[in-house]
Amino acid sequence: MTVTTFIEVGSGAGYLHLPDHLVDPRPIDVERFTDHRVLFSSSEEIAGFDDGEVIDTLAAVRRLRARADAIEAHALTRLDELRDGSRYVPDEAALELRINRHATADRVATARMLTDDMPQLLAAMESGQIERHPATKITNTVTHLTGPRRREVDQRLTDKLATGKLSWLDPARLVRAARRLVTKVDPDGQTDRARRARTERRVELIPGEDAMSTLAAQLPAELASAAYGRIDGMARSLRNKGDARTLDQLRADVYADLLLGNDPGAQPPAAAATVFLHLPATTALTIGDDGAELSGYGPLPGPIAREIMTRPNSVWRKVLTDPGTGAPMDLGATRRRPTQAIRDFVAVRDVECTVPGCHRPAQRCDFDHRIEWQHRPDTSSDNGAPKCEYHHYLKSQPDWHIDFDPNTGTATITTPSGRSYEHHPRPPRPTGADTDATATNGTAPGTAAARSTTASGEPITTDASSTGDDPPF
């Protein structure tokens, strides 16, 4: 006679008695089980916590976040393996992570480093000791080391933690210790690392809040110090001459003047490079203050937009739009290369690269045939959309599909996994006679273009010269 043994299996939802051959008992990590309970805490419950319960909750959330970061690292590494290290892995992952491609690329690189060369640091994340942000700062210190030397730094750091010389409570000290260990394991590589780092110099434009942005340059330390010293010296000189601006304001204005080729400090800097500003006709005429947008940045207050577009020597252009819907009218050509008028029209209509998550201003994008020329020999605004060079090439990669409807502003992207994502890069056009207007402020000493609704059918006042600098599709 066969005797069946039953095992009680339970959770907060209840208990079951199952035959022992159906149960694969796993050791229960009480701390992890307890940590997950905080995910179900309501705001009302937390409002009744005492200080001990609040601190316990914060610790549990930190551990959960660290473990989630470790899981993400494993998942990104696996996706990278499945795609054979394709450069487009960050594009695919970014759509689900809801962050931009560049940030995702950094996460993929960190994930590979953790899983391949820093297993002890990854294990600390899995146990809830350290989150991705400080862990990434540690991995950044070993980026230029070989795999074996990275693993040596990883082990030495772990040993110091085990002996109490370092603590997870002080992430900044961990990063400094990692830097010192890098020098110890690779004493002759410091110069090479510095030289490699200098090849990564760059300038970044980072949109901020309240119609402000940050222009940051990654430079060799001595150049950055010298540049700041010159800016600071010129700012202090102006201040000593009685300029009422603060030193911070003066430094910022001198910085902009030097870059734009103006006389530093003579007046607040004026733009000397092309930028595009889009605004409703009502805003341009001071009837309202809503709807103004700067390409590559986003919304601007109406008064600020009017200050930009009314600067001396600004140039305006009219673009015909449908008086009923506000949608721009189509322009067409039967030749392969678009005319400048079509390029300008598409840039005005779509504002930015039409791939979800990309905010490169349309005037700095390629003209992309939505249906490729060999399949539909039509070069028109209806068959065209702006794509940055990177995404122009992505469109032709195997198993990637990108489409854009210029009438609704809807972009659809399908990834190699078969998932599709729909995005609306621009809002629907307003209806009626008061539709959208667009301005650009630009080329020295300042250029501007405007898009406004005209019921009289005035032509678009742009030249018809064509350019040929697109990728060949």
**CB contact burial 55-78 (16+ within 10 A = b; e otherwise):** eebeebeebbebbebbebbeebbe
Query: How far apart are alpha carbons 223 and 219 in whole angstroms?
Result: 6
| 352 has pLDDT over 70 | yes
Partners of 218 in the beta sheet? 202
With cut-offs at 50, 70 and 90, classify the pLDDT of residue 44.
very high
Q: Residues 50-59: what's their mean pLDDT?
A: 93
In this prediction, residue 17 carries a pLDDT of 73
Cα 8 to its chain centre, rounded Å, is 50
**CB contact burial 290-317 (16+ within 10 A = b; e otherwise):** ebbbbbbbeebebeebbebbeeeebebb
Q: Residues 377-386: what's their mean pLDDT?
A: 81
Cα 263 to its chain centre, rounded Å, is 34
Is the separation of the CB atoms in 315 and 449 below 8 Å? Answer: yes
Question: What letter would DSSP give residue 361?
Answer: B
237 phi and psi angles, rounded to 5 deg? -65, -45
**Side-chain-facing half-sphere of 374: CA atoms under 13 Å:** 2
With cut-offs at 50, 70 and 90, classify the pLDDT of residue 160.
very high
Query: How far apart are alpha carbons 282 and 452 in whole angstroms?
Result: 9
pTM of the model: 0.66
Query: How far apart are alpha carbons 462 and 51 in whole angstroms?
Result: 67
311 or 172, which is more confident?
A: 172
Is the separation of the CB atoms in 452 and 437 below 8 Å? Answer: yes
pLDDT digits (tens, 9 = 90+) for 81-118: 999 999 999 999 999 999 989 899 999 999 999 999 99
393 φψ region: left (φ > 0), alpha (ψ -120 to 50), beta (else):
alpha
With cut-offs at 50, 70 and 90, classify the pLDDT of residue 432.
very low
In this prediction, residue 462 carries a pLDDT of 30
| 469 has pLDDT over 80 | no
DSSP E strands, 189-301:
202-207, 213-218, 275-280, 293-294, 298-299
DSSP string, 290-354: ---EETTTEE--HHHHHHHHTSTT-------B-TTT-PBPP-EESSSSPBHHHHHHHHHHH-B-S
63-67, 192-196, 341-345: range with lowest mean pLDDT: 192-196
pLDDT digits (tens, 9 = 90+) for 117-143: 999 999 999 999 999 999 999 999 998
Helix (H, G, I), strand (E, B) or coil at 204: strand
In this prediction, residue 81 carries a pLDDT of 96
Query: How far apart are alpha carbons 395 and 8 in whole angstroms?
Result: 55
Write the CA distances from 320 to 176, 280, 344, 378, 451, integer angstroms. Answer: 60, 14, 12, 21, 8
Write the CA distances from 432 to 277, 302, 345, 429, 450, integer angstroms. Answer: 21, 20, 20, 10, 18
In this prediction, residue 339 carries a pLDDT of 75
| 408 has pLDDT over 70 | yes
Q: Where are the domains of the chain?
A: 51-198, 218-260, 270-473
472 or 409, which is more confident?
A: 409
- In whole numbers, what is the pLDDT of the chain averaged over residues? 78
